[in-house]
């Protein structure tokens, strides 16, 4: 189960970078791409969020704290990242406007990534729970 979850989280991290961040690379800027890459590396396998401090991001990317802050703001402005303000800022990557964790299939107990609409997943779940006559 854990190995499957790790595989799924790696797939979703790659999907976030490939479909969300990298296509905007030329207009996004290299600093924001480097910060997105660093955030992806720190994502928790279960929750798909992370909370690295600015010092950690500076060390990972080699960028200054001000550049990190500007890059994070740029990612937020382009709706690729949401920040939950708390004692430690929690970074929530967004893919197609939804948190990355929302792309896990709730029907599957193994957490398979999905691109299917929620209606299809719910209908499939109803069929799985059908009572035999």
pLDDT tens for residues 45-79? Answer: 888 999 999 999 999 999 999 999 999 999 999 99
Question: What share of residues in the chain are helix, strand, coil (percent, to 5)?
Answer: 55, 10, 30
Domains of the chain: 2-128 (1.10.10.10)
CA distance 1 to 24: 34
Tens-place pLDDT, residues 2-44: 677 778 888 899 999 999 999 988 888 999 999 999 999 999 9
CA dihedral 99, 46, 8, 22 (to 10 degrees): 40
What's the predicted TM-score (pTM) here? 0.75
* Residue keyed to tokens 């009572």: 131
Show the tokens assigned to 61: 């990317």
């Amino acid at each position: 189960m854990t190995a499957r979850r790790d595989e799924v989280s790696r797939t979703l991290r790659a999907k976030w970078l490939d479909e969300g961040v990298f296509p905007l690379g030329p207009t996004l800027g290299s600093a924001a791409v480097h910060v997105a890459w660093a955030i992806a590396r720190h994502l928790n396998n279960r929750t798909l969020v992370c909370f690295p401090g600015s010092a950690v991001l500076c060390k990972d990317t080699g960028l200054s704290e001000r550049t990190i802050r500007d890059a994070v703001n740029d990612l937020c402005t382009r709706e690729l990242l949401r920040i939950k303000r708390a004692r430690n800022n929690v970074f929530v990557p967004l893919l197609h406007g939804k948190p990355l964790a929302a792309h896990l299939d709730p029907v599957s107990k193994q957490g398979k990534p999905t691109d299917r609409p929620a209606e299809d997943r719910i209908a499939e779940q109803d069929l799985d729970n059908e009572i035999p006559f």
